[in-house]
Structure 1
Amino acid sequence: MKDNQICFKSENTEATSFLTSSSYKKFLHDLWQRLVDTLLTNSQELQVWQKVDRYGNIYWKAYDPVTGKSFKSGSEDDIRMWIEQLYQSSKYGKSDFGNW
């Protein structure tokens, strides 16, 4: 041993490549966004998100924390209809339509 240097070689190249990949950066971004959303939103408000799946398809998610009901659809009109029915059922005390 000439100069007393120790060389460490990573045997787990998958972990190393994941930490530098765009999927890891997206994961951190999404985690940060969820944290910010959680801290800034009223816990009793209806929540609606527009999402994009890994194939580029846009879909919508809605969640009502008061009733615990949720709905997911590829159609913005379907989400609006679900919200309207949710509002009508809570306004008139009906709760028989459940999760779709």
Structure 2
Amino acid sequence: MNNDIRCLSTEDIEINCSPSFQKKNHSNFWKSLHRIWENLVKKLLSNPNELQVWQKVDRQGNIYWQAYDPVTGKSFSSGSQTDVCMWIEQLYRY
């Protein structure tokens, strides 16, 4: 029994990707990397005790708002920006 192991050279490997597929993946990679970088910078520059409010999109494409107060540990979410503003006002009213 012969157990020969050999490595494939680049000539032995065929890459069957169209140029548009390669360009699309390259573009998605840089977009993802840019998004990660932006989130990292936001985290580093943010005040950990500051009220946080952000907009999200669920699986059905519905847009909703979330708010979190790290000082009290309370959070709130709603499909209405007005509701979130009212929650913030009530939170700091007292």
TM-score (norm 2): 0.60
Q: Which residue of 1 aligns with 2:9?
A: 6
Which residue of structure 1 aligns with residue 19 of structure 2? none
Greater C-alpha Rg: 2
Percent of aligned pairs with the same amino acid = 59
Aligned-partner SS, 1:20? helix
Query: 1:7-48: CA deviations, max 9, x gaps?
Result: 2457xxxxxx7x917665554343222211111111111011
Give the SS at the match of 2:43.
helix
Give the number of aligned pairs.
Answer: 79
Superposition map of 1:43-58 within 5 A: 43-53=48-58, 55-58=60-63
Which one of the candidate residues 50, 67, 76 is aligned to 2:72?
Answer: 67
Aligned structure 1 segments of 4 or more residues deviating by more than 4 angstroms: 21-26, 53-56
Q: Does 1:40 align with 2:30?
A: no
What is residue 97 of structure 1 aligned with on the other side? none
Q: Any gaps of 5 or more consecutive residues in structure 1?
A: 11-16, 92-100
1:69/1:26 Cα in 2 relative to 1: closer, same or farther (>3 Å)? Answer: farther
Tell me which amino acid in the other structure corresponds to 2:65.
Answer: W
- Across the aligned residues of Structure 1 and Structure 2, the Cα RMSD in angstroms comes to 3.2
Letter in 2 for 1:49: W
| Equivalence for 2:86 | 81
Q: 1:62 to 1:9 in 2, by over 3 A?
A: farther
